[in-house]
Structure 1
Amino acid sequence: MDAAWVALGLSLKVAGWATALNLFLGVGVGFFLARMRFPGRDVLDTLLTLPMVMPPTVLGYYLLVLMGRRSVLGEWLYDNFGIHLIFTWQGAVIAATVVSFPLVFKPARAAFEAVEHELEQAARVLGVSELAIFFRVTLPLAWRGIMAGLLLAFARALGEFGATLMVAGSIPGKTQTLSIAVYEAVQAGQDGTAHLLVIIISIVCVAVLLGATRLAPGRVSGRNR
């Protein structure tokens, strides 16, 4: 029982950090692609969306190649800062961030593209700075779509399995998230523990998805009509 709550706490921590990182990465990239026009924009959009359709184990392999001790990045991080990401909860955060990134990026881009440019232009005419326009006009109009994406990303990161297992492994109390704990319990024939873990993660995911549904822009606009 205690192990289940430890796994839940670790899962919530990993999902929380992944969602926080995607708040900046996904929203920033979504705004950039919604506003900028340049050659190869569609190709970049496709590449950034790949984690949504690519098998998690493949993503985990790419992350191992990128962050492993023998990689250029992994060796540089270890030699200069003593940072080793493989088989750590920080590595699990990176894996969850990559996997859930499109779920923030795509809704954020759509939300920013739906903002009426006339409102932003009116603010410019009044002499409002671009930064103030973003925080006082653009973001308030797009926040529902962004928040719905963040909640979906949180739920996805909470249930991430393949990439997390390859990058962080399954170390009880350190890197064993709730979804991995379910797998380990089933493999060990611990049906009671598996049932408990499944119920816990199902309740959390249902609550998150209900919140995302209530914040969905289409649902809000439908009510207004």
Structure 2
Amino acid sequence: MCKTMSRLLWVSLTVLLGAVAVGIYWNYDGFDPESVRGATVVITGCSTGIGEEMAYQYARLGAKILITARRENRLKEVVAKAKSLGAQEAHYVAGDMGKAEDCERTIQTAKEKFGRLDYLVLNHVGSNVQSVQEKVLQGKPWDQDPDIDFFVDYLNVNLVSYVRLASLALPLLKETKGHLVVVSSGFGKVPWPNVSFLCTDKFALDGFFSSLRVELMKAQQDVSVTLAVLGFIRTPKISENLKV
């Protein structure tokens, strides 16, 4: 009886210690805030929402940032706040990432301002044809509203420009062993009805950048590719449209 109790005690203790070890492993990310201090960062889609907040977080860590969006007045405000929060440098490029020349100008500006690039964070969302928020809220099945013009424009802004910016930045990221971060969502993992254009984009982002990650690993290029899969987030613009 004593041997059985002793064995059970050791098994229980082993399980407990194993659970503690797993908990420590999953909660330890190994992130060193000092590794970002002085790092050069380009973030797209920074006039509001997630992009704006990321700019402030990098600023608090003492990074040098360059942000983009279409609204110059908002970019000026974000740059001013980023500097007040501790950014070593803060610059902006006002432009439409759906235009090849604006993508090229963004990466070229980073090269001119910083001379290097450590992080490229792709976050922008938009369309030049119709408000994306309105399109999502309408929630019409594709066969009832096959809006090809919107579909082509949406993929150009939210997929092709991501690939273009990453391609332009890769030579710089290879030099610094840098980081490529792509903001995506659960729509790229599970098909959803009435937002086929959104799922198409997010699934494609996953496919392209996951493949790129493997290619870089095979070529022994030390550039990390992170696909950030986000859940539902009530940014100010979405909250306003949802009236919450």
TM norm structure 1: 0.26
TM norm structure 2: 0.25
More helix by share: 1
**Higher relative contact order, structure no. (Cα contacts within 8 Å, ≥ 6 residues apart):** 1
